[in-house]
Structures are given as C-alpha cells and as structure tokens.
Amino acid sequence: MQFEQETKVDIHEQSPLSLAFVGDGVLELLVRRKLVEYTRLVPSKLHSTCVKYVSAKGQSRALEILEPLLTEQEQAVLRRGRNASKATVAKHATPQEYRASTGFEALLGWLLLTGQDERIQQLFDAMWEGFDPTL
C-alpha cells in the first residue's frame, strides 16, 4: 500500500487531524477493496455497505474490537487523535463516536506514514473478522 517517498516533515510533528485525514483515506480504500474482491454487490449497494464501516459510528465500533490489540505507542497515537479538537461533529454520530473515529483514523494515518503497512493489514483483518455491519 505504501508509496515510497522521502518525507519533508517529521511525522511526529504532524497534527492528529492531519494523520486522521490520511487515515480516513486508508480505511476507505481497504474497505472498498475488500468489498469488491469478496462480493458481487452493485455500485449503490457497495457504497451503502462501505458507509457502515467508514462512518464515525462504524469506526467507533471497529475500534472497540481493535483497542485490546494495540501497542502502547499505538494507544498514544489513538489518544492524541481522540483528544484533537474539531469544530464540527457528524450528524449521525455522538460526540464520543466522532472522537473515537478521529482517533482511529489518526492511528491508521500514522501507521501508513511510518511505513507500517503490515500492521495496518493486521488491524484491518481483525476489524473485518469481528465487525458485523448489520448492527
């Protein structure tokens, strides 16, 4: 997944919201790829199923599955993302779900930008395994 390139900014100096910006794209791509590879859904159904995973509510539920698996360093990144202040909150999520989803996205962004593609895949596989999109 990683596109090799030299970074100009120290990743540890990036704001959690910048990491979440990247992490949002990471999760969206992983979910879309999995759905296309393993289902025969039509595009409108692909989209509605994808939203169940990548919405703030879905990411918050996924994080409940993943939190026990996180290292101390990953938990620290997650906390930074959760504590980042945002001016808006998703209209279909509670503030707690929105903060959790921002933390989860920040974690995925940090993992990508630090070259930990294998760890992203491990966490995504665990999420996919334990996540029921019908709930």
Residue 58's nearest CA partner among 101, 111, 102 is 101
Does 132 qualify as catalytic in the annotation? no
Which listed residue (24, 117, 125, 132) is catalytic?
Answer: 24
Residue 15's nearest CA partner among 77, 87, 95 is 77
CA distance 87 to 17: 12
Residue 15's nearest CA partner among 76, 105, 84 is 84
Strand, helix or coil for residue 10: coil
A 10 A CB-CB count for 131 gives 18
Q: Please say whether the beta carbons of 53 and 62 come within 8 A.
A: yes
Query: Which residues are annotated as catalytic?
Result: 24
